[in-house]
Amino acid sequence: MNNNPQSAIRNPQSDLLSVEIAGIRFNNPVLTASGTCGYGLDMAELIDLNKLGGVCTKGLSTRPLGGNAPWRIVETHGGMLNAIGLQNIGARAFVEEKLPELRRYDTRIIPNVFGYTVEEYIEAIEILEDGEGIDGYELNISCPNVKAGGESFANDARQAAEVTAAVKRAARRPVIVKLSPNVTDIAVIARSVEDAGADALSLINTAVGMSIDINTRRPRLANVTGGLSGPAIKPIAVRCVFQAFRAVKIPLMGIGGIATVEDALEFIIAGALAIQVGTANFYDPSASMKIIDGLADYCRRNGLENIGALVGTVELNH
């Protein structure tokens, strides 16, 4: 979009921060994470979407979903548990009602997609394939596979690969697979999904957690368990990115408690080529904007021509 060398001088941030992942060119490596920015437009009054590298939408399914009964969220130390229940307007409504406005912004649009069977993933992807302005898909594979005993796709290397391969056959756009931390060995799942054709990985989804009210002795969430997010899970996420970086060749997007530029840099040094800001959008809506500026400053201070030079440079020799 920017072929004028003069403008690169005026806006050197674009050179410092632009990254390519799975053939998608991002103006910078900072996206908002699925489930924490609605359909992107919901943040348009508080941040400049044109400045954002990309938007991962709220998880979309073939049909609209109503979500779980309240209570759906509870704050914990350094984070929060949520059990929203994947409430969403459905892939068709996204394409028809949200996408036309969202694609007016200069940001990459990555719909997050989920299903409870492989067929549901395919059906949702097929609906989204009609949408103009979509740059790629992010697969949430943390849902239970109801046709295979209800175990999460993400917890089983074979099922994770199966859904990845099926979606890759159906999608003409790049596919980013979002991994769950609730697994024995994330490197095994990462390799399996890479072998199945994933173009990139994003990690991590929330860590399953629980909180109990000691007075009523009832779980604080109506769903009993929920997904833990926020700064509390950041070290787990950094470790997962570090392990996945050593396991696969495809690019990684780091997610998990990123709220500041220092957090983002930690993920990049661990191996992420891009990062997603999640829970921080709730309590600091402009966190992603500050991180973008902070990354450019870091590049300038450290003489980096592009942020990509920092990826996976963690120093293990003392």
Partner 1 sequence: MPGTIDTLATVECNDLIESVSTRSYGQLRLRLDRQIPVLPGQFAMIKPHGHYEPLLRRAMAYYRCGLGKKSLSVDFIYQILGRGTQMLAKLKAGDEVDFLGSLGNTFYIEAAHRHEALLVAGGVGSAALFMLAEELVRCKIPTKLFIGGAGRGDLCGLGDFISLLSSDQVISATMDGSYGEKGFVTVPFEKHLQSRRGEPMIIYACGPDPMLHRVSQIADQFAVPAQLSLESPMACGFGICVGCAVAVKAESPVGFIYKKVCTDGPVFWSNELHW
State in angstroms the smallest separation of the CB of 176 from partner 1.
21
Q: Residue 276, interface with partner 1 (CB under 8 A)?
A: no
Query: By rule CB under 8 A, what string of x and - marks binding of each residue 282-311 to partner 1?
Result: xxxxx-------------------------
Closest among 212, 203, 275 to 236, alpha carbons compared: 203
CA atoms 273, 114, 83, 290: torsion sign: positive
Q: Residue 8, interface with partner 1 (CB under 8 A)?
A: no
Helices 287-301 and 261-270: crossing angle in degrees, nearest 10, is 60
Q: Tell which one of 14, 48, 63, 71 touches partner 1 (CB under 8 A).
A: 71
Check 37, 143, 240, 299 and give the catalytic one.
Answer: 143
Instruction: Answer for the pair 244, 179: CB distance below 8 angstroms, yes or no.
Output: yes
Helices 186-195 and 234-247: crossing angle in degrees, nearest 10, is 50
| Annotation marks residue 240 as catalytic | no
Q: Residue 10, interface with partner 1 (CB under 8 A)?
A: no
Question: Both tokens of residue 14?
Answer: 């674009």
**H or E segment to which residue 124 belongs:** helix 118-129
Q: Residue 279, interface with partner 1 (CB under 8 A)?
A: yes
> What is the b/e burial string over 171-206, where b = at least 16 CB atoms within 10 angstroms of the residue's CB?
bebbbbbbbbbbbeebbebbbbbbebbbbbbbbbbb
Question: Both tokens of residue 102?
Answer: 């969202």
**With contacts defined by CB under 8 A, how many residues of the chain interact with partner 1?**
34
Residues between 218 and 257 with contacts to partner 1, criterion CB under 8 A? 230-231
Q: Residue 69, interface with partner 1 (CB under 8 A)?
A: yes
Which region, judged by CB under 8 A, interacts with partner 1, from 65-73, 90-98, 135-143, 191-199? 65-73
Which region, judged by CB under 8 A, interacts with partner 1, from 67-75, 104-112, 297-305, 308-316? 67-75
Interface ranges with partner 1 (CB under 8 A): 36-38, 42-43, 45-46, 58, 66-75, 77-80, 82, 84, 87, 230-231, 279, 281-286
